[in-house]
Structures are given as C-alpha cells and as structure tokens.
Amino acid sequence: MALRLFDSLTKTVRPFDVAEPPIARVYGCGPTIYGRAHIGNFRTFIAYDVLHRYLEWKGFEPHFVLNLTDVDDKTIKGAADAGVSLEAFTTPHEHSFLADADTLGMRPFLTTPRATAHVDEMVRWIERLEDKGLAYLADDGSVYFRIAAFEKYGQLSGNRADGESGRSRIDSDEYDKDDVRDFVLWKAARDVDRQVGAVWPSPWGEGRPGWHLECSVLSIGALGDTLDLHLGGEDLLFPHHENEIAQSEGATGKTFARAWMHTKHLRVEGQKMSKSLGNVYTIPELVERGHAPAAIRHLLVSAQYRKDLNFTFDGLEGSARAVQRLEALHRRLHDETTAEPGQPEVGLAEITRTALADFETALDDDLNTSGALAALFVFLRDVNAALDGSGGRAASAELATARDALASMDRVFGLLELALADTQVDDDLASWVEDMIAQRKQAREDRDWGRADAIRDELTERGIVLEDTAQGTRWKQG
Ligand code: AMP
Ligand code: ZN
C-alpha cells in the first residue's frame, strides 16, 4: 500500500512519491525563536514528527530539515526590548524549542539551520534574481521581488497577491515598492537593526534578509533545488509559501516542492489561541501542572492534521488515561502474561494482523492518525479480552507477534516510548537514591560523619529529602 497525502498545490489526495527513493527530502517551516513555542506550534511540529516517523515506518529515509527563524521583525523587536543582541536574545529560545521537542519525543532533524548563519547565500540568491529581472532595488535601499515578472505567481494559493487574503500574514514594514504586491527580499537597515546587530553587508548596503527568502535559501541549501515535500501551518500558505515558490523557481527554473502539506491550527477550549484570552500554553507550563508529555502528545495526534483539534484540559485527562491503558497492555504483554510453548493459541496473531492492516490503511489515507489510533485501541481491547479468557496465558510465538506489533505501531505514535522513558528515569533515580542511603548508613556505622553529611548534601542538591525514622531512612522528592 502506498502513502497518499493531500497536496495543497494540486488540492488532491495523491500518492506521495520521491525523486530519489528511498530518500525523502522534506522541509518544514520552523519556529520563530522570539519566545517559547506554544501548544499550537506543537500541533504542527508533532504532525511533522508523525509524518517523519511514518516515512521511516514505510521504508523511506527522511532527510528532514526544519529552519529556525532568528531574524525577522519579531526577533529584532524582542532583542531591542530586552536591550541585548539578536544572537543573545534568540539563543535561549532555540535551546528551549529543542528541549521541548525532546520532551515531546520528536525525532531529531537532519539539521535545524538558523537564518543568520546563511546570510551570504541569501545575498547571492537575490543577485541571481536580479540577473533574471525578478528583483529590484527601491529608493528606500530595500530590494523587492517583482511579482509582475513571474508569470506563475499564485499557483499555490490561487492568489495573485492583488488583495489581502483572510489567512495572510504580511510583513508590516515594507516601504517603497513599485507595486503593492511585491515583497521584500532585502531590508535596508534601520537604527533598531543596527542596535541589536541584525545587519549584514550587501551590494545594496547594510540590511537583513526578508523572512520569505530565508526559507527558500535554507531549504534548497540543505536539500537541493527540488524538495519532495514542503510543510507548514495553514497560515503560511499565503503569502509565505507562494513567495517561497516565486523566489525559488524564479532563480532555479525548477520545481521547488513536488508536494505541499499544511496543518490546521489548534484551538484551545474551543477558542482561537491568544495572549489576551490567557490560553497560550507552553510545554513546560503543562508539565508543571502535572500533565505527562505522553498525554500531551496523544492529544496532539488524536485528530488528523487537517481536521479541527480542540485542546481542552478534559481532553488531556482522557489522553492520560489512554496512555495508561497502553502502558498496562505493554506490561501485560511483557511481564504478566505467561508464555507457554505448549499453550494453544488464543487468537493474538489474527488480532494483530487485522490491527496492523487497519493501522496502515488509516495512515496511508492522508495520515489519518485518529483512524490509526482507533486501530491501536481495538487491538488493545481485543488482546486484553483474549488474555482475560485464557487466564493470562498465551503461546509464546503469538505473544511475541503481539508485542512486536505494539512496538511497531508505537514507532509512529511515540507514546509508549515517552511514557516508558519517564518511568525508566524514575526507576533509575530510585535505585541511585537507595544506593546513596545505604552508603550513608554505612558511613554512620563507621562513624564517618563527614562522609554521611556529604551524601545527604548531594541528595539535597538533587532535590531528595531524607527523613530518618525508627524503621529506617525514608526519602521523597522535594
Ligand atoms: P511561528 O513560530 O509563528 O513562525 O510558527 C511556527 C509554526 O507553528 C508555523 O508552521 C505556524 O503555522 C504554526 N502555528 C502557529 N500557531 C499555530 C496553531 N494555533 N496551531 C497549529 N500550528 C500553529
Ligand atoms: Zn518558511
């Protein structure tokens, strides 16, 4: 069976194919590193991650690139407000994004290039566009893309950019263009840009690259002229992606991306996310409130990427229970069930075959994650029922088949992987603490008070509080 995806360019669901199998060259628009990414951003990034994992599952070799937008109006304003350089301002946000991605079990990317590390290439790209008559320097010292000279403009959005689309996200500070539709490739330096160090030399004077150009140059630089798939949130389709196509195809004369995928925006408690509503949650905030990363991840994959998804705290509780049921099944298949060579089969092989087929059919159908989760939970229900009926005994071969299937489906969803990693950390910590307590007891018996105190201090530093009782030493995480 072949993976089929909705391609926003042709507006059809069609087979996903790549130029050079098994490599899949995929580029996703990444975060603007001016603040902590929120749960909405992570709906999009987790959709990228499920795609990434499913491509691997299907035997592709994903070359997956995600950019970090570190120079644009928002990062410059953030740095200026904080009174620090652009680099000093954005670096912690880069680290926090990568940390959150890790918390949610995202696969590492091939690379996560920062725009500011590639400004020279961007300057050369503008020169190529100038040579082709597609770029011009305006009186304000900025360089613009001449949309009228690019016949194919509008192929993705159907929008010739002569009016503003409701979904559009347009730069606010473009100054002196020949045509209102034209967009900026190089922005002449302003005082605030100089103040934060967001200026680079160019043949047109000091300035900085435009946001749209960053993605064309970073994607092509990392993956070549033609991508197999370009991803982004739905708000980026116009003008950002339309402009990426114009800049890329205008310079190379080749197809920029063979297919486009756009994720639908997340809503929170039924509403659009906004600071004024106080519903813009970050991953650490949710974890701090006691929500497990695996539950957050479950909620984010519970609807297909093009469908509405409403993040609610009730939903998150439901997701936590779903993950617990998966963990319980995992334990049952590994620890609690007796594998007996002579045992008659209890039907796990058949249950597994059906589940895997339904799972793959759902994901092949435009990454229908809710359908695939349904297949996984039918598997869970049926395996439990079969084991309940046999008093927890099964033939070892069918048991192995069921265990492998659970692990295989989880390679795409990454839920057990996260949940079990959490318990693993706890187990490791517990055995380390027990060991330290035993050493401290020994030190006290040896009347080595210095050593005993040092051990207690080390534990305190790791947030472990000891309580000496008549029954021995108890501990808890403070
Ligand atoms: P930004 O950091 O604003 O550049 O956004 C990074 C990515 O997150 C882009 O692909 C956006 O389309 C996406 N995004 C922003 N808000 C949401 C949301 N509420 N739901 C899903 N994706 C979003
Ligand atoms: Zn982009």
User: Where are the domains positioned within the chain?
Assistant: 4-263, 288-422, 427-477
What is the C-alpha to C-alpha distance for residues 109 and 421, in angstroms, rounded to an integer? 20
Residue 425 has pLDDT above 70, yes or no: no
From 34, 38, 41, the mutation candidate for ligand 1 (largest count of ligand atoms within 8 A of CB) is: 41
| Residue 331 identity (one-letter amino acid) | R
Instruction: Give the number of whichever ligand sits closest to the CA of residue 32.
Output: 1
pLDDT of residue 168: 44
pLDDT (average), residues 261-270? 98
pLDDT of residue 165: 41
CA distances from 421 to 47, 288, 425 (A): 21, 18, 6
Nearest CA to ligand 1 atom 6: 31
pLDDT of residue 174: 52
* Ligand 2 centroid – CA 244 distance (Å): 8
Assigned CATH for 4-263: 3.40.50.620
Q: Predicted confidence band at 234 (pLDDT cuts at 50, 70, 90)?
A: very high
DSSP states of 207-276: EEE-HHHHHHHHHHHHH-S-BSEEEEEGGGIIIIIHHHHHHHHHHH-S-SBS-EEEEPPPEETTEE--GG
Tell which residue, 400, 317, 311, 344, has the closest CA to residue 41.
Answer: 311
pTM equals: 0.88
Backbone φ/ψ region at 59: left (φ over 0), alpha (ψ -120 to 50), beta: left
Which residues have a Cβ under 8 Å from the Cβ of 95 and sit 6 or more positions away?
A: none
pLDDT (average), residues 196-208? 98
Residue 169 has pLDDT above 50, yes or no: no
pLDDT (average), residues 104-133? 98
* Ligand 2 centroid – CA 379 distance (Å): 39
| 32 Cβ closer than 6 Å to some ligand 1 atom | yes
- Of 13-27, 270-284, 409-423, 461-475, the range with the lowest mean pLDDT is 461-475
pLDDT (average), residues 105-120? 98
Give percent of the chain with pLDDT exceeding 90.
Answer: 83
Tell me the per-residue pLDDT of 141-159, one tens digit each, with 9 for 90 and over.
Answer: 999 999 999 999 999 999 8
Q: Predicted confidence band at 460 (pLDDT cuts at 50, 70, 90)?
A: confident
| Residue 4 identity (one-letter amino acid) | R
Which residues have a Cβ under 8 Å from the Cβ of 6 and sit 6 or more positions away?
A: 12, 13, 261, 306, 366
Tell me the per-residue pLDDT of 283-304, one tens digit each, with 9 for 90 and over.
Answer: 999 999 999 999 999 999 999 9
Is it true that domain 288-422 has CATH number 2.60.120.10? no
* Ligand 2 centroid – CA 81 distance (Å): 25
Tell me the per-residue pLDDT of 47-89, one tens digit each, with 9 for 90 and over.
Answer: 999 999 999 999 999 999 999 999 999 999 999 999 999 999 9
* Ligand 1 centroid – CA 364 distance (Å): 25
